[in-house]
A and B are shown apart, each in its own frame.
Chain A
């Protein structure tokens, strides 16, 4: 049976067990808020799981019960005995159906009656659900899971699903107290150490082959035992994440949204207990992100975003915590609306609301009974969820944080304590001490050899140049106040990429081994240093500390910047190792072209009037800034068009296109173009040739002659009244990249050159002691500084010469 389904059954069964007494209590006190809440949460959770596991009957039942209970919570409905009975009947049915999922038994389907009974005024339903005694249906294909959703009315006999399970399956899992597992783990660890000790003694006393063989066998057994005992406690977070792609697919399909899910940190291992505890919160968070966060494709296009919303779920181990984050690039949370709602629902008084910071307002999302969702859907949006999420996470000593920017996205992070973790780590040594570095943070290892990696000094700070990439270096030994045992040119660079921080290198004396280490939290005094993440005991039984790469970067002053806007929008990750998300678009000349999505900052709709021809090229204005506008050909006379905005981190450019076609993961390798130009090469997408844009060429082309307005020479036109100067000369100068002013303007004194047409102005303007060009109306006036006024080439040439070559030759 599907593992998720098993989880669902176990979980539902357990909740029902604990809920049993509350249900009884609720019957006697229907208006008790706490009881109402816990029953409501139960059906809400069931509803959520059903949507995702595709169990329509359970889904309908729980959704109906949730509706009624939500009304009770909102005091739109007063729970009376009939309602309580109806809800209990539904819960009984949920319980029966859940059991049936496992046993494969069929349950008579009169759900519609049960649901109808929930509504006020309905007659009380039959007291108990009828278990229809039936022969177990034949084992069905897994695809038939809950496909009976089409016609579920009346008392038809329908089995919710028919897995190939043994009749009335006894669960193949048992529960054990965690302490017992801990004792087992400690016992096995001690056994390993005893084995190591024995091994040493055997070696010292000379070998007897018979004893050696027995010892080998013992070693093997202990190894296997340790492995399995460890597995009893630890699981990769992948177990939790593996359910997400399907869920995201289903939820986004239901909502008509397009979502690209990125998952990162699958190999982080954590306590099974923890995984179970964060399963629900994570489910809620992901649903919320798709339902409330990511906008519909239409809205996204209007907002200038890519059609596909991005949702990145990641796990990483940071210090003595596991941080799980869900970051979306959706519409963000409207904290003000949240606040308004809180006041409206009497969660918060209007006085208290005054002067609340944005962050404080955002935290209201965790208040019970608050939701900004406009519509109630089967996905989420009934004011339940975030408060449950927080309650669940805090119960295990964790922390939930929300950060959001309107229009840009939302980041929800859960931090749960690292009770016990197995981390793949690299052991290194520096200054005679051994340390472990989490492998997840390591980008690469490079030996300093003066060829591919050179260590240098930059104003007292060490930097390493690895294949042209310059990185800050933390000399681990001296950083820790130790003496390095190797000369600088024999060190090894461990290039680290701490989550959320800049890449940097740590110089270590030696790299030893890759090991899977059981990491436990270190004593508070050690954690307080900020550079250790925990302690571990490798097989050699010398305790070792796990370094915290993020902490080291911070202590070494390599980071410390707060979350910036572009941190909220996740950098385009690599979906599959060799492919990159690539934007396919139709260019102005109707050719399909592609560009790496990572380089596109956003896609804008630009009106034609935002384009100006200035300083020798087309530029597009936005936010009072001019950005070079590139295109494959003439823009034509469209009223508006789309532009891709790109940045190389230093300069921004825009590229005009006709329309966006799609975003696909694509292998960047392509047939190279014959000569350098706009197109780097051509590749096939779905059998169609698509030209890949050469971004390097594009930026090179754009920066070839990019001069900011401040560097453009200022031309003073002496005769402001002359229509020719204003209407003929001025546009020519501007389009050639010069600024223009007149004698009566404020910036006239900053002029670099004077252009004059009349002899009379000569004397006055000479006083300014500036180069001057006389424009004459006679073609053959050959005096110096005289230029025939329609000799465009001559005029621009003279201008360029006279302004001292301030403007680089184009």
Chain B
């Protein structure tokens, strides 16, 4: 996997999302909560005329909930025909990489291991590459909560 990566902050960590999966980055103002859904589903959000399902990335990774002040920026992705807005704490940068994604050798926490695709090196910093589809899916823990 070579190419563009979007560097965002999820659950307090800087991670990379493959830019090819990302439609756009938007500001989110109002989220309509939805009862009786898994914990990582934050609600619904209207992006112009499209209804997006909002994903709480934090809940998806470690089961915690994003604070209200952090619910402002979202990455729009499309999974199996449905649009999702993945809430992220911060959108930092877009980087172009020439190196391929390397397998991750460290033992990750289960929540991270589930969403990780590999690691990339940027300016001496090692970043986890995260699969947006896995974030959308949510973990067993969050589903049970």
Q: How far, in whole Å, are A465 and B45 apart by their CA atoms in the complex?
A: 39
Interchain CB contact under 8 A, A526 and B41: yes
Interchain CB contact under 8 A, B51 and A535: yes
Residues of A within 8 A of B44 (CB): 535, 543-545
The chain B residue sitting closest to A194, CB to CB, is B48
Known A186-B50, A543-B45, A543-B51; judge A526-B37 contact (CB<8 A): yes
Contact with B along A122-145 (1 / 0, CB 8 A): 000000000000000000000000
Interchain CB contact under 8 A, B49 and A542: no
Interchain CB contact under 8 A, A523 and B46: no
Contact with A along B29-40 (1 / 0, CB 8 A): 010111111100
Q: How far, in whole Å, are A482 and B82 apart by their CA atoms in the complex?
A: 27
Q: Which of A189, A529, A531, A544 contacts B49 (CB 8 A)?
A: A189
B63 contacts A by Cβ under 8 Å: no
A480 contacts B by Cβ under 8 Å: yes
Q: Which of A520, A525, A532, A543 contacts B38 (CB 8 A)?
A: A525
Residues of B within 8 A of A433 (CB): 32-35
| Contacts of B12-67 to chain A: CB distance below 8 A | 30, 32-38, 41, 44-46, 48-51, 53
Q: How far, in whole Å, are A767 and B49 apart by their CA atoms in the complex?
A: 91
Residues of A within 8 A of B41 (CB): 523, 525-526
Interchain CB contact under 8 A, A190 and B48: yes
Known A193-B49, A522-B53; judge A543-B36 contact (CB<8 A): no
Interchain CB contact under 8 A, A192 and B53: no
Q: How far, in whole Å, are A524 and B143 apart by their CA atoms in the complex?
A: 13
Residues of B within 8 A of A522 (CB): 51, 53, 82
The chain B residue sitting closest to A419, CB to CB, is B81
Known A481-B36, A531-B36, A545-B34; judge A525-B138 contact (CB<8 A): yes
Residues of B within 8 A of A526 (CB): 34, 37, 41, 53
The chain A residue sitting closest to B83, CB to CB, is A523
Contact with A along B121-145 (1 / 0, CB 8 A): 0000000000000001010000000
Q: How far, in whole Å, are A535 and B50 apart by their CA atoms in the complex?
A: 10
B5 contacts A by Cβ under 8 Å: no
Interchain CB contact under 8 A, B49 and A192: yes
Contact with B along A515-543 (1 / 0, CB 8 A): 00000111111100101100111000111
Residues of B within 8 A of A545 (CB): 34, 44
Residues of A within 8 A of B138 (CB): 525
| Contacts of A146-192 to chain B: CB distance below 8 A | 186, 189-190, 192
Interchain CB contact under 8 A, A542 and B48: no
The chain A residue sitting closest to B53, CB to CB, is A523
Interchain CB contact under 8 A, B35 and A543: no
Interchain CB contact under 8 A, B46 and A542: yes
| Contacts of A243-290 to chain B: CB distance below 8 A | none
Interchain CB contact under 8 A, B37 and A529: yes
Interchain CB contact under 8 A, A193 and B35: no
Known A523-B82, A544-B32; judge A537-B37 contact (CB<8 A): no
Known A525-B38, A526-B37, A545-B34; judge A189-B48 contact (CB<8 A): yes
Interchain CB contact under 8 A, B32 and A193: no
Q: Which of B36, B37, B46, B53 contacts A541 (CB 8 A)?
A: B46
The chain A residue sitting closest to B80, CB to CB, is A524
Residues of A within 8 A of B136 (CB): 523, 525
Q: Which of B30, B36, B45, B51 contacts A480 (CB 8 A)?
A: B36
A160 vs chain B, min Cβ distance (A):
45
B133 vs chain A, min Cβ distance (A):
12
The chain B residue sitting closest to A536, CB to CB, is B51
B36 vs chain A, min Cβ distance (A):
5
The chain B residue sitting closest to A480, CB to CB, is B35
| Contacts of A480-539 to chain B: CB distance below 8 A | 480-482, 520-526, 529, 531-532, 535-537
Residues of B within 8 A of A481 (CB): 35-36
A321 vs chain B, min Cβ distance (A):
16
B27 vs chain A, min Cβ distance (A):
15
Residues of A within 8 A of B38 (CB): 525
B22 vs chain A, min Cβ distance (A):
17
A517 vs chain B, min Cβ distance (A):
11
Residues of A within 8 A of B36 (CB): 480-481, 529, 531
Q: How far, in whole Å, are A531 and B34 apart by their CA atoms in the complex?
A: 11
Q: How far, in whole Å, are A722 and B136 apart by their CA atoms in the complex?
A: 89
The chain A residue sitting closest to B50, CB to CB, is A186
Q: How far, in whole Å, are A359 and B138 apart by their CA atoms in the complex?
A: 37
Residues of B within 8 A of A544 (CB): 32, 44
Residues of A within 8 A of B33 (CB): 433
Interchain CB contact under 8 A, A537 and B46: yes
| Contacts of B64-86 to chain A: CB distance below 8 A | 80, 82, 84
The chain B residue sitting closest to A541, CB to CB, is B46
Interchain CB contact under 8 A, B82 and A524: yes
Q: How far, in whole Å, are A541 and B35 apart by their CA atoms in the complex?
A: 19
Residues of A within 8 A of B46 (CB): 193, 537, 541-543
Q: How far, in whole Å, are A532 and B37 apart by their CA atoms in the complex?
A: 10
Q: How far, in whole Å, are A193 and B48 apart by their CA atoms in the complex?
A: 7
Q: How far, in whole Å, are A522 and B32 apart by their CA atoms in the complex?
A: 14
Q: How far, in whole Å, are A526 and B37 apart by their CA atoms in the complex?
A: 6
Q: How far, in whole Å, are A756 and B38 apart by their CA atoms in the complex?
A: 78
Residues of A within 8 A of B84 (CB): 523
Which among B30, B32, B45 has the highest number of chain A CB atoms within 10 Å?
A: B32
Interchain CB contact under 8 A, B51 and A520: yes
Residues of B within 8 A of A532 (CB): 34
The chain A residue sitting closest to B82, CB to CB, is A523
The chain B residue sitting closest to A543, CB to CB, is B44
Known: A189-B48, A523-B41, A525-B41. 16 other contacts (CB 8 A): A186-B48, A192-B49, A431-B35, A433-B33, A433-B34, A480-B36, A523-B53, A523-B84, A525-B37, A525-B136, A526-B34, A537-B46, A537-B50, A537-B51, A543-B45, A544-B32
User: What are 10 inter-chain pairs, A to B, with CB distance below 8 A?
Assistant: A186-B50, A193-B48, A193-B49, A480-B36, A525-B41, A525-B53, A532-B34, A542-B46, A543-B44, A543-B51
List the 8 shortest-distance A-B pairs measured between CB atoms, nearest first.
Answer: A189-B49, A480-B35, A543-B44, A523-B53, A535-B51, A543-B51, A523-B82, A190-B48
- On B, residues with C-beta under 8 Å from A are 30, 32-38, 41, 44-46, 48-51, 53, 80, 82, 84, 136, 138
- On A, residues with C-beta under 8 Å from B are 186, 189-190, 192-193, 431, 433, 480-482, 520-526, 529, 531-532, 535-537, 541-545
